[in-house]
Structure 1
């Protein structure tokens, strides 16, 4: 179903004028077209990087519909759903009506979640749609082996995305689900800047990953992915050291930079993406300058590798 880097687009907003703050569907269409042309394995629209938390239902429907239209069946389009169980169900239905191919089910809203309740949450949302569902293991929605097996048995739940980085727990979940439910169940690395941990995730049976970098620097994201696929450890490590690890250091300086740095990067690369919505904040001028230096360093490594290959 998925083959390659997974593209998580940002949601552009109009920056100024009478429409300031509204979703910029034209900019979104350009952003999507450029990304799909670069060759991702799938598009995950209106998810974490796309500021799902800040969208209302009509906006969400228009965003998903735009993605479906632009992608035009070239790769799967999955849409975010989550929050309260009522909201998650509405957004799941809206995603199906807009033509999405599947859902990424984000965590429920705020409350601490007992394992039976987490299973019930997934079951309730999955029941309102025929779409395949990938569950997201992070924040207050942390699965155990038993609860992961229980949701994997729900007919339209097809995948499990980890955002915890708890390798011991995830390895046990992979083993339990693949032996007790489905050997072909899908597993994804969903940590921010997943490239820095992907070698470790691969070792425990998690081959797929989301790449926020792909949204603004697909050349670097694809170069890293291809280096993993081909076993080119020298290039993979050079990209980690020059680009991905410095990006993580910058990302970790301010809460929410995992989204706002990506959005700033999209604008920096030529597609105006506008600001993030509160409570997130945009990068400072100093951090934007640092982001430019990090991207330039990554591309310098890539240019050197390409010149050596000629």
Structure 2
């Protein structure tokens, strides 16, 4: 999965808020055509938190079907979450429709001690045959000792980090057994990709890939070949301004991505409540920023 950008596709909705399976299928096919390292349907960018179980089944099924049509070379890692009991229900669906693995999103609402964080994964792991990648973000943050414990759970294979605490992350990578996977899951992960790679975590997720795979892939390629001039230019002129726009309104981490996809003609529709679509002024700024980014890599809007 470190051989390409990790794709987190958007959920597709009609204007009335209902799921648009055909739009999602087209979006997934376009994402797969760029050969990402893996595809993660029904996660944060895919508005997992607003899908019911039937919609979740449709979304993950379509991702698996389209990955199969693309030759089955791209792993499909479906999101699951809430408490372990509900996560197990989603895991059962993902397993039934053929997902390759699961990303365990942070549990709902409450803070918990380390023993509870470990127990959450133990209970979920006991109820699915699929490999699990834990996602530490928000109220979930593992210590090195807890990392050793979850790494001993047979089907827990990795950790995605969204805290960007590189001191803690380095301690976790050193505590992990050989072959345990780590992923950079910071918001707009490209901003910190070099720093994460320096502590042994080169693989990262890219929200930009959902609307501009040309930009995401150009950044990834420049980073891999050590072209720091190109990396810096993309960061300075595209990624940093995107983050500054994203940080204006809660939820823009998803809303802006979806709006940018619509600007490029992708059939993804609006966000669902409690998220809101960008204002007209922010949308105009996003369009100009997207044009700038595409110009930098020789692509078009």
Which TM bucket (shorter chain)?
A: over 0.9
Residue 30 of structure 1: aligned partner: 26
Q: Distance in 2 between matches of 1:39 and 1:294?
A: 25
Following superposition, the deviation at residue 303 of structure 1 comes to 2.8
Residue 297 of structure 1: aligned partner: 292
Q: Distance in 2 between matches of 1:228 and 1:133?
A: 28
What whole-Å deviation, never above 9, does each CA across 1:15-58 have from its counterpart, x for those lacking one? 1xxxx211101000000111111121110000000001111111
Q: 2:231 aligns to what SS in structure 1? A: helix
Q: Distance in 1 between matches of 2:152 and 2:3?
A: 24
Aligned residue among 233, 238, 249 for 2:244: 249
Q: Distance in 2 between matches of 1:142 and 1:84?
A: 16
Residue 213 of structure 2: aligned partner: 218
Q: Distance in 1 between matches of 2:269 and 2:32?
A: 21
2:260 touches 2:290 (CA, 8 Å); kept in 1?
A: no
2:42 touches 2:48 (CA, 8 Å); kept in 1?
A: yes
Residue 173 of structure 1: aligned partner: 172
Q: Distance in 2 between matches of 1:148 and 1:89?
A: 21
Residue 11 of structure 1: aligned partner: 11
Following superposition, the deviation at residue 169 of structure 1 comes to 0.5
1:65 aligned onto 2:64: no
Following superposition, the deviation at residue 272 of structure 1 comes to 2.4
1:69–1:2 CA distance, 2 compared to 1 (3 A) = farther
Residue 307 of structure 1: aligned partner: none
1:271 aligned onto 2:266: yes
2:24 touches 2:267 (CA, 8 Å); kept in 1?
A: no
Residue 187 of structure 2: aligned partner: 192
When the two chains are superposed, the root-mean-square deviation of aligned CA atoms in Å is 1.1
Normalised to the residue count of structure 1, the TM-score between the two structures is 0.94
Following superposition, the deviation at residue 176 of structure 1 comes to 0.7
Residue 153 of structure 2: aligned partner: 154
1:67-106, aligned counterparts within 5 Å? Answer: 67-72=63-68, 73-106=72-105
Residue 126 of structure 2: aligned partner: 127
Following superposition, the deviation at residue 2 of structure 1 comes to 4.6
Following superposition, the deviation at residue 202 of structure 1 comes to 0.3
Q: 1:208 aligns to what SS in structure 2? A: coil
Residue 308 of structure 1: aligned partner: none
What whole-Å deviation, never above 9, does each CA across 1:205-262 have from its counterpart, x for those lacking one? 1110000000000000000000011111111111001111110000000111111111
1:282 aligned onto 2:277: yes
2:79 touches 2:105 (CA, 8 Å); kept in 1?
A: yes
Q: 1:45 aligns to what SS in structure 2? A: coil
Q: Distance in 1 between matches of 2:99 and 2:239?
A: 31
Q: 2:297 aligns to what SS in structure 1? A: helix
Q: Distance in 1 between matches of 2:38 and 2:91?
A: 18
2:26 touches 2:267 (CA, 8 Å); kept in 1?
A: no
